[in-house]
Amino acid sequence: MSESVLLHTEGHVLVVTINRPQVRNAINMAVAQGIAAAMDELDGNPALHVGIITGAGGNFCAGMDLKAFAFAGIEPTIEGRGFAGLCEAPPKKPLIAAVEGHAVAGGFEIVLSCDLVVASRTANFGLPEVKRGLVAAAGGLMRLPHRIPMSLAMEMALLGDSIPATQAQAWGLVNRLVEPGNALQEALALALRIDANAPLAVATSKQILRDSRTWADGEMFERQRCATRKIADSSDAQEGAAAFAEKRVAVWIGR
């Protein structure tokens, strides 16, 4: 793993830190490769149930490294996962963004790839690509209208201006707003609450929430049955019922 992406675990939680604070954690190829490897580890390691992505040095991420793009034509995309090793194929397991400072351009698109967002009150979010002659093509234009009303998504995309975290929370983009410096701590608290639940049921719930946006009305319940059939037959479902009846904490095995 490159030093530009740092990993550590807190129990069943994988914390991924973009570590280029001198450039506000702008994404270069090394970062994209590091994040892609981290997402593979999160999905592939049964001991990991939840992921958190954050940035070092008081900022989340300022987007693509424009110097590398301008002078070398480098776009930090990974085959199969897209920009930043994440945006086209987020992990199957829950991923939380812990945001301090700037989360703009590709950095905001990383946030939009996550399932939950914890932000400092002094954080800010935006898609300024149009100010640089670019388009927010790492999922921002497609995901943003599913998070906020279309008119507000248009405003952010066409003006290219950033909004403060307080406004982002009012619009529904942020789950938890915290004091500066506390975003990662609060994200860990959320991750541990998710981790207390059955991991297979959590991952399947995320899958249905994400996938069902494109399901036709007439097929929704059948497609949901296909996804949930394995849950009803799982050992964890039996354990959950037994733990409830016996008034004890469930012990999940993930199958």
Give the distance from CA 231 to its chain's centroid: 24
Whether residue 127 contacts residue 104, with contact meaning beta carbons closer than 8 Å, is answered with: yes
Of 46, 113, 114, 40, residue with least CA distance to 79: 40
3 part of the active site: no
Whether residue 76 contacts residue 27, with contact meaning beta carbons closer than 8 Å, is answered with: yes
Given the residues 109, 155, 239, 246, the one annotated as active site: 109
Tell me the one-letter amino acid at 219.
E
Give 116-147 as a 3 state SS string: EEEEECCCEEECHHHHHCCCCCCCHHHHHHHH
DSSP label at 21?
Answer: G
Question: What's the rounded Cα separation, in Å, for the pair 12 and 52?
Answer: 11
246 part of the active site: no
Question: What's the rounded Cα separation, in Å, for the pair 235 and 156?
Answer: 46
* Strand, helix or coil for residue 74: coil
Q: What is the rounded end-to-end Cα distance, in angstroms, of the chain? A: 30
C-alpha triplet 116, 211, 191: angle, nearest 5°: 25
Given the residues 75, 100, 129, 186, the one annotated as active site: 129
Catalytic residue positions? 109, 129
